[in-house]
Amino acid sequence: MEFHEKFLISLLSKRARNTLKLTSVPSEFQFHLGRDLQITPIQSIYERDRFEGGYCIGGEEMWLIFKPKEVISLDGIEKHLLLTAHVLDTFSISSITMTFLHEALPSSAWQLMKIINQRQANVRFLLCLMKTDSSEFLPRFLDECTEVTGCIRIPVCFPDVFVFTPSRPFKTREFRVKGKCDWLNIDSLINCRIIQLEFRKTSNRTAKCWKRFFDNWKNGLSLSCYGESEYEVMIGGLIDGGTETEIECLLSEVKRRDGSEFMVKGYTGFHVMPKQAYLEYMKREDLYYSIQTPPI
Between residues 131 and 210, the one the model is more confident about: 210
Residue 206 has pLDDT above 70, yes or no: yes
Element (H, E) at 117: helix 106-118
The tens digit of pLDDT for each residue in 48-74 reads 566 778 878 878 888 888 876 788 888
Cα end-to-end span (Å), the chain: 56
Amino acid symbol at 151: C
Largest CA distance in the chain: 73
Measured distance CA(149)–CA(175) in Å, rounded: 10
Q: What is the pLDDT of residue 51?
A: 75
Q: What is the pLDDT of residue 296?
A: 47
Residue 47 has pLDDT above 60, yes or no: no
Between residues 278 and 51, the one the model is more confident about: 278
The tens digit of pLDDT for each residue in 19-41 reads 877 777 788 999 999 999 999 88
Residue 126 half-sphere exposure toward CB, CA atoms < 13 A:
27
Residue 102 has pLDDT above 60, yes or no: yes
Indicate the domain borders of the chain: 1-145, 176-296
Looking at domain 1-145, which of 3.30.70, 2.30.30, 3.30.420, 1.10.3470 is its CATH number?
Answer: 3.30.420
